[in-house]
Amino acid sequence: MSSLELQKALVARLRGDTGVAALVGTRIYDQPPPEPVYPYISLGPDQILPSRADCYDGKEVTLQVDAWSRGVGFPEVKRIAEAICVALDDASLTLVGHRLVDIYEEDVRTMRDPDGATSHAVLTFRALTEPV
Protein backbone atom coordinates (compact mmCIF):
# COMPACT_ATOMS: atom_id res chain seq x y z
CA MET A 1 0.00 0.00 0.00
CA SER A 2 1.45 3.36 -1.02
CA SER A 3 0.40 5.14 2.21
CA LEU A 4 2.34 2.68 4.39
CA GLU A 5 5.44 3.01 2.23
CA LEU A 6 5.00 6.78 2.30
CA GLN A 7 4.73 6.71 6.10
CA LYS A 8 7.95 4.68 6.40
CA ALA A 9 9.83 7.06 4.09
CA LEU A 10 8.42 10.14 5.82
CA VAL A 11 9.47 8.93 9.30
CA ALA A 12 12.93 8.00 8.01
CA ARG A 13 13.28 11.45 6.43
CA LEU A 14 12.22 13.24 9.63
CA ARG A 15 14.51 11.11 11.82
CA GLY A 16 17.42 11.71 9.47
CA ASP A 17 16.91 15.47 9.16
CA THR A 18 19.36 17.45 11.32
CA GLY A 19 16.96 20.40 11.72
CA VAL A 20 14.17 18.17 13.00
CA ALA A 21 16.53 16.10 15.16
CA ALA A 22 17.91 19.26 16.80
CA LEU A 23 14.38 20.05 18.03
CA VAL A 24 12.82 16.66 18.87
CA GLY A 25 15.65 14.13 18.73
CA THR A 26 14.21 10.80 17.61
CA ARG A 27 10.82 11.37 19.27
CA ILE A 28 8.77 10.79 16.13
CA TYR A 29 5.87 8.43 16.71
CA ASP A 30 3.10 6.65 14.86
CA GLN A 31 1.49 6.24 18.29
CA PRO A 32 3.06 8.29 21.10
CA PRO A 33 3.72 6.57 24.43
CA PRO A 34 1.19 7.22 27.24
CA GLU A 35 3.43 9.87 28.82
CA PRO A 36 5.66 11.23 26.04
CA VAL A 37 8.66 13.47 26.54
CA TYR A 38 8.02 16.87 24.93
CA PRO A 39 8.59 18.15 22.32
CA TYR A 40 7.74 15.41 19.86
CA ILE A 41 6.16 14.68 16.47
CA SER A 42 3.34 12.24 15.80
CA LEU A 43 1.61 11.03 12.68
CA GLY A 44 -2.03 11.86 12.28
CA PRO A 45 -4.66 10.40 9.97
CA ASP A 46 -4.26 10.06 6.24
CA GLN A 47 -6.64 9.73 3.32
CA ILE A 48 -6.02 7.95 0.03
CA LEU A 49 -7.87 8.86 -3.16
CA PRO A 50 -7.39 7.09 -6.49
CA SER A 51 -5.91 9.26 -9.21
CA ARG A 52 -6.56 7.36 -12.43
CA ALA A 53 -6.02 8.24 -16.05
CA ASP A 54 -5.13 6.32 -19.21
CA CYS A 55 -2.37 3.84 -18.29
CA TYR A 56 -1.98 5.48 -14.88
CA ASP A 57 -3.06 4.08 -11.51
CA GLY A 58 -1.81 6.65 -9.05
CA LYS A 59 -2.87 7.65 -5.56
CA GLU A 60 -3.33 11.04 -3.96
CA VAL A 61 -2.46 10.78 -0.27
CA THR A 62 -3.36 13.52 2.19
CA LEU A 63 -1.48 13.04 5.44
CA GLN A 64 -1.26 14.84 8.74
CA VAL A 65 1.85 15.37 10.84
CA ASP A 66 1.49 16.83 14.35
CA ALA A 67 4.07 18.69 16.42
CA TRP A 68 3.67 18.95 20.20
CA SER A 69 5.38 21.26 22.68
CA ARG A 70 5.14 22.26 26.31
CA GLY A 71 7.42 25.26 25.77
CA VAL A 72 6.06 28.66 26.74
CA GLY A 73 3.80 30.03 24.01
CA PHE A 74 4.06 29.04 20.35
CA PRO A 75 7.75 29.63 19.43
CA GLU A 76 8.98 26.08 19.98
CA VAL A 77 6.11 24.34 18.17
CA LYS A 78 6.37 26.81 15.28
CA ARG A 79 10.11 26.07 14.94
CA ILE A 80 9.31 22.34 14.85
CA ALA A 81 6.58 22.90 12.24
CA GLU A 82 8.98 24.89 10.08
CA ALA A 83 11.63 22.17 10.35
CA ILE A 84 9.06 19.54 9.31
CA CYS A 85 8.06 21.65 6.28
CA VAL A 86 11.67 22.15 5.24
CA ALA A 87 12.32 18.40 5.55
CA LEU A 88 9.21 17.22 3.68
CA ASP A 89 8.06 19.89 1.22
CA ASP A 90 9.09 18.76 -2.28
CA ALA A 91 11.25 16.01 -0.73
CA SER A 92 12.66 13.18 -2.78
CA LEU A 93 11.53 10.07 -0.88
CA THR A 94 12.13 6.48 -1.92
CA LEU A 95 9.11 4.18 -1.60
CA VAL A 96 9.18 0.41 -2.03
CA GLY A 97 6.92 -0.64 -4.90
CA HIS A 98 5.81 2.92 -5.60
CA ARG A 99 7.23 6.16 -6.93
CA LEU A 100 6.68 9.47 -5.22
CA VAL A 101 5.65 11.93 -7.90
CA ASP A 102 5.35 14.92 -5.54
CA ILE A 103 4.86 15.86 -1.89
CA TYR A 104 4.03 19.34 -0.76
CA GLU A 105 2.86 21.30 2.25
CA GLU A 106 -0.81 22.10 2.02
CA ASP A 107 -1.70 23.61 5.39
CA VAL A 108 -0.22 24.43 8.81
CA ARG A 109 -2.36 25.31 11.82
CA THR A 110 -1.07 26.19 15.28
CA MET A 111 -3.24 25.99 18.38
CA ARG A 112 -3.15 25.68 22.12
CA ASP A 113 -4.64 22.47 23.48
CA PRO A 114 -7.41 22.60 26.10
CA ASP A 115 -4.95 21.69 28.89
CA GLY A 116 -3.51 25.21 28.52
CA ALA A 117 0.05 23.89 28.65
CA THR A 118 0.47 22.17 25.29
CA SER A 119 1.04 23.90 21.97
CA HIS A 120 0.11 21.89 18.91
CA ALA A 121 0.86 22.36 15.21
CA VAL A 122 -1.15 20.40 12.66
CA LEU A 123 0.55 20.09 9.28
CA THR A 124 -1.16 18.68 6.22
CA PHE A 125 0.82 17.35 3.27
CA ARG A 126 -0.41 16.07 -0.06
CA ALA A 127 1.53 13.38 -1.89
CA LEU A 128 1.04 11.85 -5.32
CA THR A 129 2.29 8.31 -5.84
CA GLU A 130 2.23 5.74 -8.60
CA PRO A 131 3.16 2.08 -8.75
CA VAL A 132 6.48 1.14 -10.31
Alpha-carbon span 87 to 18, nearest angstrom? 9
How much is the pLDDT for 58? Answer: 85
Indicate the SS3 state at residue 103.
Answer: strand
| pTM, to two decimals | 0.93
pLDDT at 54: 61
Can you give the pLDDT at residue 132?
Answer: 84
Q: Which CATH class is domain 2-131?
A: alpha beta
Mean pLDDT by runs of 10 across the 132 residues of the chain is 88 97 97 97 94 74 97 97 98 93 96 95 95 84
Domain segments of the chain as ranges: 2-131
What's the pLDDT at 51? 73
* Separation of alpha carbons 117 and 130, rounded Å: 41
